[in-house]
Amino acid sequence: MNQNDRLVARLGYTFKDKSLLKLALSHRSYGKQNNERVEFLGDSLLNFIIAEALFAKFPTAKEGQLTQLRANLVKGETLAEIAREFGLGDFLLLGEGELKSGGFRRASILADAVEALIGAIYLDSNSSMPTCRERVLAWYATRLDKVELKATAKDAKTLLQEYLQERKMPLPTYTVLAEGGEAHSRQFTVECTITGKSKPCSAVGNSKRIAEKLAAEKMLSQLTNA
């Protein structure tokens, strides 16, 4: 069994077009033909498949709870864990600089490669969502079995900040747009903004803190659905 056959066995999918597998494993440091575009596709597919699975698993969960659960499952740290379970670092195609600096162990590179593999499987299977879904759910089976609604203990502001930090994006700012109401029933309208990224999201709550959390929840949902 050659090296790629070992990886195929771990992935549970045999590529008809071997060039797609090579593309998915090719970091941008390796050359112009790299996995950035197919990673973009895989990221979107992963978000949809996990959202769909959580929607079915938790029929009474609120949007915010589902958003938080999905963010935990698709974040870079989780994807890097899956990559390590596959031993994916041994199969990555890296440029000389990344090889010398240990790029095959870097969490961000491993996570990107998993997303690229998802995109590559989708393309190789003639855009078959059932095939792609089956592989992703198999990779996530243990994690999906263990996930519980109480795992949403982190509030949306914390999850949003973690999501942005992982992707080296600007941190959010929260602005009170309006406040009013009676003393016993105050209402605050807060806007969440990320400089140069996405459109602002606003929410209303009976305290500034609640309004910020709701706005962060909307922003997180917008980013992970982009």
Per-residue pLDDT of the chain (226 residues; tens, 9 = 90+): 456 778 889 999 999 999 999 999 998 888 889 999 999 999 999 999 999 999 999 998 888 788 888 988 998 889 999 999 999 988 998 888 777 776 667 888 899 999 999 999 999 999 999 999 999 999 999 999 999 886 555 678 888 888 888 888 899 999 999 988 776 677 899 999 998 877 899 999 888 888 999 999 899 888 887 6
Buried (b) or exposed (e) across 2-41, using 16+ Cβ within 10 A?
Answer: eeeeebbeebebebeeeebbbbbbbbbbbeeebbeebbeb
Which of 26, 17, 40 minimizes the C-alpha distance to 8? Answer: 17
Per the annotation, does 155 bind a ligand? no
**Look-up of token digits 């140069």:** 196
**pLDDT on residue 2:** 57
- C-alpha distances out from residue 178 to 156, 187, 190, 208, Å: 21, 8, 7, 10
Q: What contacts 83, CB < 8 A, 6 or more positions away? A: 89, 110, 111, 113, 114
Delineate the domains of the chain, giving CATH numbers in brackets.
3-152 (1.10.1520.10), 156-224 (3.30.160.20)
Residue 100 CA to its chain's centroid (Å) = 28
Tell whether residue 115 is among the known ligand binding residues: yes
Least Cα distance to 54 among 45, 41, 65, 39 occurs for 65
Residues noted as catalytic: 43, 115
Which amino acid belongs to residue 153? A
Among residues 60, 218, 68, 57, the alpha carbon closest in space to that of 151 is found at 68
